[in-house]
């Protein structure tokens, strides 16, 4: 059994690695063009996609359930809250 799961897992990891490197090339390529806010949005979306690939495949988040996934999503939720409250101040309050 050990050897039978080897090729599938290895192929999955290799494909993820290739996708990560392709996304890296894409993010550098997009930065070459002056697109204003689209640059920022594209680079952040690509970074999130890369992080999700690393977490899902390399860190085997796809294999675990329950509390561990909750921790992974929880940290995202806390960080989102922190950014939301801070941006609310900087974008909507006068005199900062």
Partner 1 sequence: MKEAADPSGLDPYEDGETRLKAQRMGMWLFLATEAMIFAGLFLSLFVIRTLHPEGAAEASSHLKPMVGAGNTAILIIASTLVALSSVAAKDGDERRFITWAGFAGAALLGALFLAIKIGVEYRAEFHEGFIPGAGPAFPIQADGAQLFFNLYFAATALHAVHVLIGVLVLAGAALGVWRRWLKLPDNAPEIEFCGLYWHLVDIIWIFLFPVLYLVG
Residues that bind partner 1 (CB under 8 A): 2-3, 5-6, 9-10, 13-14, 16-17, 20-21, 24, 27-28, 31, 39-40, 43-44, 46-47, 50-51, 54-55, 57-60, 64, 67-68, 71-72, 74-75, 78-79, 82-83, 86-87, 90-91
Smallest distance from the beta carbon of 55 to partner 1, in angstroms? 7
Query: DSSP readout, 1-59?
Result: -HHHHHHHHHHHHHHHHHHHHHHHHHHHHHHTS--THHHHHHHHHHHHHHHHHIIIIIT
């Amino acid at each position: 059994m050990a050897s039978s799961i080897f090729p599938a897992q290895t192929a999955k990891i290799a494909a993820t690695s290739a996708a990560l490197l392709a996304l890296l090339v894409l993010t550098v390529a997009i930065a070459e063009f002056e697109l204003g806010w689209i640059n920022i949005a594209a680079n952040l979306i690509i970074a999130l996609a890369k992080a999700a690939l690393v977490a899902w495949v390399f860190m085997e988040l796809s294999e675990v359930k329950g509390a561990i996934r909750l921790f992974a999503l929880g940290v995202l939720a806390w960080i989102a809250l922190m950014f939301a409250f801070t941006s609310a101040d900087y974008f909507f309050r006068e005199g900062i």
